[in-house]
């Protein structure tokens, strides 16, 4: 092993350890403040925590080392960072165009679209979600967190499905937020939850229509 590769391996190990520490600290704090009435639910979440934290930290290190992502990894806080746009650009997205984009996509790919990371607008910021069901007959898709989205009718959901592009996915990964009537006032970013951080590592930044394996 060369000195350069040894240094790189050490750095990866150090980054992984720091990410795990930051993720554990944050998740334990969230669990401590959560309203969980069933002790079994708490036990279940605690048991699964090591697996998901290790997987997320490892995936974030790999994405960062690939150099293909526009995001900057903050290992101490276990977050992605990026320059925030002056205003929320999703307002320019027409709902009909978004539905047409997804309809064309699932018609061509069907089940191959499962697992695709998609952006969903929630109030002042964009969350990362993923497609887990496709209903070609009724022309709709189901995402893991936000539920069903019709691709032929106006959305009845309080959330809004968006078409992925570099600006939108970057904003979602970094937790950027805006407020005001025109969403032109930048406010402090939120930290995406553990699930969002994990699926952020499955984004193909060269082709948003392809799901990357974790």
The predicted-structure confidence for 90-136, as pLDDT tens digits, reads as follows: 767 888 899 999 999 888 877 778 899 999 998 888 999 999 999 98
More confident residue, 209 or 172: 172
pTM for the model stands at 0.91
As a whole number of angstroms, the distance between CA 62 and CA 72 comes to 13
As a whole number of angstroms, the distance between CA 73 and CA 75 comes to 6
Average pLDDT over the chain, rounded to whole? 89
Q: What is the DSSP string of the chain?
A: --HHHHHHHHHHHHHHHHHHHHHHHHHHHHHHHS----HHHHHHHHHHHHHHHHHHHHHHHHHHHHT--S-EEETTTTEEE-PPPSS-GGGG--HHHHHHHHHHHHHHHGGGGTT-EEEEEETTEEEEEEEEEEETTTTEEEETTTEEEESSS---SSSEE----HHHHHHHHHT-EEETTTT-EEEPPPPP-HHHHHHHTTB-TT-TTSBPP-
pLDDT at res. 5? 53
| Per-residue pLDDT at 7 exceeds 50 | no
Q: Encode pLDDT of 133-186 as tens digits.
A: 999 899 999 999 999 999 988 777 778 999 999 999 999 999 999 988 778 889
More confident residue, 41 or 21: 21
pLDDT at res. 69? 95
pLDDT at res. 129? 97
- Where are the domains positioned within the chain? 3-80, 89-200
pLDDT at res. 107? 85
> Which positions ≥6 away from 158 have C-beta within 8 Å?
122
């Amino acid at each position: 092993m060369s000195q350069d590769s040894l240094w790189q391996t050490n750095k990866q190990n150090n980054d992984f350890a720091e990410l795990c520490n930051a993720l554990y600290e944050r998740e334990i704090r969230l669990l401590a403040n959560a309203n969980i009435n069933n002790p079994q639910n708490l036990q279940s979440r605690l048991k699964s925590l090591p697996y998901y934290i290790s997987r997320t930290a490892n995936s974030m290190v790999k994405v960062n080392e690939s150099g293909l992502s526009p995001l900057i990894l903050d290992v101490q806080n276990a977050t992605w960072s990026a320059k925030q746009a002056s205003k929320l650009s999703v307002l320019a997205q027409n709902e009909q165009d978004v539905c047409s984009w997804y309809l064309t996509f699932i018609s061509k790919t069907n089940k191959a679209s499962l697992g695709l990371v998609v952006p969903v607008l929630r109030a002042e910021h964009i969350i990362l979600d993923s497609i887990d069901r496709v209903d070609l007959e009724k022309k709709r898709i189901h995402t893991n967190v936000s539920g069903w989205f019709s691709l032929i009718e106006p959305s009845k959901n309080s959330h809004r499905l968006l078409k992925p592009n570099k600006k939108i996915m970057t904003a979602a990964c970094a937790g950027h937020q805006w407020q005001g009537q025109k969403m032109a006032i930048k406010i402090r970013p939120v930290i995406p939850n553990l699930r969002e951080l994990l699926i952020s590592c499955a984004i193909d930044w060269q082709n948003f229509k392809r799901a990357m394996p974790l």
